[in-house]
Amino acid sequence: MSDRPTYDRLGTREHPSLGLDTFGDVPLDGAPGNHAETLREVVAEAVLADRVGVDYIGLGEHHRADYAITAPEVVLAAIAGQTSRIRLGTGVTVLSSDDPIRVYEKFATLDAVSNGRAEVQLGRGSFIESFSLFGYDLADYDRLYAEKLDLFAALQAEKPVSWQGTFRTPVEDKQVYPTTAAGLPAWVAVGGTPESVVRAAEYAMPLVLAVIGGSPAGFVQFADLYRRALKEFGHPELPIGMHSPGHVAATDEQAREELYPHQAELYTRLGRERGWGPYSQIAFNQAAGPQGAMFVGSPDTVAAKIAWSVRTLGLSRFQLKYSVGALPHEQRMESVRLYGEEVIPRVRRLLAAD
């Protein structure tokens, strides 16, 4: 294979990839087996997504009671065995508290068993539990990520690697296995810091913008910065993706009524950890509005907003984070079905009309 993976499989501005993300949200009602049941539900949701035409499923890595997915590559392997076309990745893999060589090996293995459908999205994560869990000092938060991303980028050539850093012993002329047929695509996921955007461009990795607050239009500056930085580093244009929460139902009213109590409970609980105030209906309505960060509503409403976001940012991929708090499995399944059968065709028609 070539020294670097090709990214034409991930979507283009002319033909964007439309995917889904989940963290495996767990109902915090104390019931035994919630985590195991949630993991089985995630597999079922991904199998449905494959069947209804969704392009990508991303599983987020967390290490806390309210999310079930701590080992996304294991769950993705289970999904791979029951699907045939959907691309399989993360949203995100917390590279700072993992070993880049092990991450590469696991996703190269997933790529083999899924017949070339694996990719990985690398980030620092929005939660910090993994640092103490795996023996890392949170004071090294930034340096750990920068150093480990550098090693991961070196591995993508799939040739013997010699590398030296601060936090691990040197790597001297080591080949990592298994190798892949066409390279392992790796995205850099960012929350909106210029330094992270430029770093993604420096390593010639596609960019994923986590748009979970404000408006997608507010991230145009980061998309533009990324494209300028790619040119300055001498790299070709690469995909830009976007991750945002949402929910699809038959009508706008139904989607909002189903999602709001779970969204409010989750954000109020997280707010107690992070010093935010209680989540309100006003905040929800703003986020779910025409230019807010949440994609909530009927297939027509969600499709129109996705198409607007794709045009505004020049996206090659959109990823809807469809699971929120204790939103029931049945409602998540219906949201996945509507997304694949009705939202995606509408988005494609809207963009083709341009």
pLDDT of 192 reads 84
32-42 pLDDT per residue, tens: 789 999 999 99
What's the CA gap between 303 and 348, in Å, rounded? 9
What's the CA gap between 294 and 243, in Å, rounded? 10
Model confidence band, residue 305 (pLDDT cutoffs 50, 70, 90) = very high
What are residue 174's DSSP bridge partners?
161
pLDDT of 6 reads 77
How far apart are the two ends of the chain, measured CA to CA in Å? Answer: 36
Percent with pLDDT over 90 in the chain? 94
pLDDT of 27 reads 87
User: Which are the contacts of 246, defined by CB distance < 8 A and separation ≥ 6?
Assistant: 259, 294, 295, 296, 302, 320, 321, 322
Question: Is the preceding peptide bond at 92 cis, omega within 30 degrees of 0?
Answer: yes
How far is CA 312 from its chain centroid?
20
Count of helix runs (H) and strand runs (E) in the chain: 12, 12
**Residue whose C-alpha is closest to residue 338's, from 75, 49, 38:** 49
pLDDT of 2 reads 47
pLDDT of 7 reads 87
Cβ contact 243:210 at 8 Å: yes
Q: Does domain 8-353 have CATH number 2.30.31.20?
A: no
Backbone angles phi, psi at 173, to 5 degrees: 50, 50
pTM value > 0.95: yes
Question: Residue ranges of the domains in the chain?
Answer: 8-353
Backbone angles phi, psi at 187, to 5 degrees: -100, 155
